[in-house]
Amino acid sequence: MITDRSVPIVTHIKGAAMQVTLRIMRFDPEKDKKPVMKSYKAEVEPTDRVLDALNYVKWYEDGTLAYRRSCAHGICGSDAVIINGVNRLACKTLIQDVGKTITIEPLAGFKVLKDLIVDFEPFFEQYRSVLPYLINNDPKPIKERLQSPEDREKFDDTTKCILCASCTTSCPIYWANPDYVGPSAIVNAHRFIFDSRDQAAAERLDILNTRSGVWRCRTIFNCTEACPREIEVTRAIEDVKRAILYGES
């Protein structure tokens, strides 16, 4: 055991460091008329994540760079951006998977507040519009509301959503019509529509059976490809369409 306190504690052993070029879309609404692409160099390792490279730029190159991040482990959904043209979480994307020149832009279809930070408020408004919580007006049971494994399985996939908006901001229908409630809101409606303990499926289906609801979806599948949680987003949307048409919830 090392007892000499002068020996530094090694917390991170550097492997084969490499230099990458980050091309980052910058925009400061207080100064800039339009967004500009700026390049930065970052020292990283192949197994670092793109979030590490962004941190490097912010900590060592330009402290004014603005981007969201929190958990750094693919759970909070706050760091979805466009990386080399594809919606991804910066904290789940390895440098070795995206090459030495990495282009990073804010999510498409949302207003840019600064650099990579976009305004999520319309997205959360659409999320709230589908009543994304359990509604059951029966008296509370003494222990819990029971559910069979088969019934739980019906909405297992859609419980995985982390509200990162990668799906909604990859949908061309949403780009053309921001009134479309979007795949993320439908996924979160699905999570409760197919929950046997919930009593508001009919209300949610009415909300989604409108001009801005599920019928806007043209089964383009971008949302499914974009989802970092590998949720079968398009399948969930189809489930909801069938429930509206045939009452299959």
Q: Which of 104, 112, 227, 243 binds ligand SF4 (CB under 6 A)?
A: 227
The neighbouring-strand residues paired with 114 are 117
Size of the site for ligand SF4 (CB under 6 A): 14
Return the residue matching tokens 């919830």. 249
> Of these, 37, 71, 134, 202, which contacts ligand FES (CB under 6 A)?
71
Judged by CB, which is closer to ligand F3S: 44, or 240? 240
- Residue placing its CB nearer to ligand SF4 in the complex, 67 or 127: 127
Asked whether position 79 contacts ligand FES by CB under 6 A, the answer is: yes
Contact (CB, 8 A) for 92 and 74: yes
> Using alpha carbons only, how large is the chain's radius of gyration in Å?
22
**Dihedral-angle region of residue 211 (phi above 0 means left; psi in -120 to 50 means alpha; beta otherwise):** alpha
The site map against ligand FES for 91-130 (x = CB under 6 A) is x---------------------------------------
| Minimum distance of ligand FES from residue 162's CB (angstroms) | 6
The rounded distance, in Å, linking the Cα atoms of 202 and 11 is 54
User: b/e string for 67-101 if b means 16 or more Cβ within 10 A?
Assistant: bbbeebebebbbbbbbbbeebbbbbbbebeebeee
Binding segment toward ligand SF4, per CB under 6 A, in 16-24, 113-121, 156-164, 240-248: 156-164
Number of residues that bind ligand FES (CB under 6 A): 12
Distance CA 232, CA 219 (A): 12
Task: Write down the residue that tokens 């529509």 correspond to.
Answer: 193
Query: What does 166 bind: ligand SF4, ligand F3S, ligand FES, none (CB cut-off 5 to 8 Å by kind)?
Result: ligand SF4
Q: Decide which of ligand SF4, ligand FES, ligand F3S, none touches 76; Cβ closer than 5 to 8 Å per partner kind.
A: ligand FES
Torsions phi, psi for 138 (to 5 deg): -65, 155
CA distance 80 to 88: 5
Q: Which residues bind ligand FES (CB under 6 A)?
A: 69-72, 74-79, 89, 91
Q: Which residues bind ligand F3S (CB under 6 A)?
A: 171, 173, 183, 217-223, 234, 237
